[in-house]
Structure 1
Amino acid sequence: MRTLTPHLKKLRAVRAVAEHGSTARAAASLFLSQPAVARAVRDVEALLDMTLFDRSARGMELTELGQVLDARLKRAFAQLRAADRGVTQLAAGHRLAHHRSESQLETQAGYRHLSILMALDAAGSESRCAEALGISQPAVTQAIAQLEHLAGVRLFHRSARGMRLTEPGDALLRHARLLWFELDSASADLASRVGQLQGRVVIGTLPFSTGLFVPRAVERLLANHPAVNVTIVDGTYETLLHRLRHAELDMVIGALRQPPPADDLHQEPLFDDELAVVVRQGHPLQGRMLRGLADLVHASWILPMPNTPAQSAFERAFHSDGLSPPTSGLQVNSPALTQALLMESDRVVLMSPRQISREVKAGLLALLPVTVRMTTRAIGLTTRTDYLPSPGVAFLLDALRDTAADLG
């Protein structure tokens, strides 16, 4: 699959020709020569091995494949337009002395500027950034200075300990990563149109809420489209949402929040999940006549993490029985560690039976026959509100919906 991000300048020319219908008018809009624009279009067509425009005496019109690419280019360059607005709104305290036009990032920020911005954020210092990219430190300094001039604001706080993004810098970084996502998706879109479903899918999963339905959906995707690369990461809700907003994830799967966390995120429920009391096989409480949670108030609980749907469900369960929920105990955010602790102790936990169905069938864990009320959680997807999935992600989304429906 062809990588488009290094060709940002040439892609601007393609977008301008699509908008204006000729290389001459596109050149005028970009303040470039007509031959330079025509050459840029030919270079992108050669890179993709595709004809993007039908040429005639009346001008240039997008082919079907050209329309596919241009749809993503519109979304990509809209990110730089949004970055122009965003850094202006956040400029207080970071503004540089010179005057800037309102569209300098959209029209002039290049691949080198944005790739060094991303690398410097990751490295934390210009020297480490230069080493990681295999370029000189003065080249890093120059690129960031040029980008700050285009943005009209300081993008980094500089100190003896290194460099960290200012608020406008973080906004620009977010839009740069979203731009990268759109260009990578453009490559995947074009490949799918010629019968090659490729690309990358990155899924963030929340603990204690995905069970087997995510692995089943992923296997369905890979069985049908083995050229797609899938990465699954876990983490806390706040960490995964940050990565989702910065286009490092395609989706977050897990227990949904009510109310939804922000206007720029969309939640899609897939199924409702309930919790049960789980212990190791052979636990002393097995076989006892339990009246309910009242008999478990003083048990050794593994507690859910604070400010999570699991904690809300845990508290609702005890309150619905007129009890105060246990507050002292062990808090664990890892399903694997929770299961290991259960196996090695007499602790109890409130978990989804779907999460440990195999362990129950294998005789390793058991569900206590205790009625637990008010623990329903909605499990589903969180994506960016304006998200347009690549073909690989679209297939996975359908597979997740189908697999969730199979759960009944």
Structure 2
Amino acid sequence: MAPVAGLLALAFYVTQIYKLAPASRIIPDIQLSISENSQQSKGSFYFDPPEPSIKHSVVRGDGVVWTMDNHTLWRSVGRHPSRPECWTYKDRFGAYENASPEMSAAISTNNKAGNKKAMILRLGPGQVWRSQFVTYVRSLVIEAGYLAGYDIIIYIHLDLTGTEKKTWLSRIPQEFKPLVQTFSTQDLKRWLPKNTPFKNVYESNHTPIQMFMAKNENYDFVYSVEGDVRLIGRWDTFLADVDNEYSFHCKHQQQDQDMPEIPDLLSFQVIRRPRVQWPWFEKADACLKRFGGKENTRSSVGPVWGWSRRLLDAMTEYNKDGINCYFEYFAPTIAYQQNLTSFFYQHPIYCPTTTGPERHTLELVDLGKNDPRLVQLEKVAVGCSYFFVDVRSKPFWGDWYDNPEVCRPQALVHPVKDLRFN
């Protein structure tokens, strides 16, 4: 009996070990090699998504965030983080610093025929592809792509041709090249109707997204993410939180509303009527006339936006009538006027304790007919760690990178301009 009992005990012990071990995601039967010259073989990709080393509520009762930072104290000024976690830089990106052949192959083969949703990473000719940026892009593709199921498009604005263009593209790591698409200013001008005004890509930042969707009819919804945006916390869990909150609003829409399964415009800064004298209205006579004056416009900041096909198609119809307005109010205003659904997802924002945020708040009067109404009004919507300039986001991100003991809570950060991360 003793040997039998010993075997049973051993079997129980091994079973418990497997139960306690964290589950890995497995990609079966993928190409392990992506080198242009090497032989390809089959195998599986085992991946444990990164996790924070500190898991607890990081916001104190006074709003100060516990970050182990000896220099600047940060305060949560808007919505508190939805997950009890604090990430060191190594926690967040360590898993992506040295990609295995299996990870590189998973990145290269991420996009699947027939997928209906995509995330577009918008880049320009100034992109250098330093190691920290490469690490970030790996995290984006694995988390938003493989884990969350989005196609990932690295969409690059290049006004180069021939050898110059080929040389520029050669900087891109091989693992990302299957995901790359390029466009030029001339491509955009040729695609737009002849009577559509177009000054430059900066002022018409929506036009590349319109053209992309027109040429890729399988997609119903795309995110656009600017190259100077970063995320603390994982993309797959962040996107799931956004989806879950929008689903809640759909379930609680009012009887006179018609909200679709996916929003038409999704922004991470409040979508509202501009409150102050805005320079982008100074030479916008045609746009303001078409929209019925400033009071009938809406605007938002667009480092990260989500776009539905029907919104982009509506924008193209305006283009056919010779209307093409500054991007921060063109899409939000069309969504408002066409009774489409705009969704502002409020996310955590952090300021130094000595600094007050910009209070770009939301009021009920700003909402369109089919916008979610159970929203948090009069809350901070932009500033400091997610703003137009990097006065606050620079130390929030840079000090985190420079100090291994410092941790940061969940945060969508913009802009990250430091050349080390480019």
Q: Identify the TM-score tier after normalising by the shorter chain.
A: under 0.3
Normalising to structure 2: TM-score of the pair?
Answer: 0.24
Normalising to structure 1: TM-score of the pair?
Answer: 0.25
Q: Which has the bigger relative contact order, CA under 8 A and spacing at least 6?
A: 2
Structure number with the higher helix fraction is: 1
The structure with the larger Rg is 1
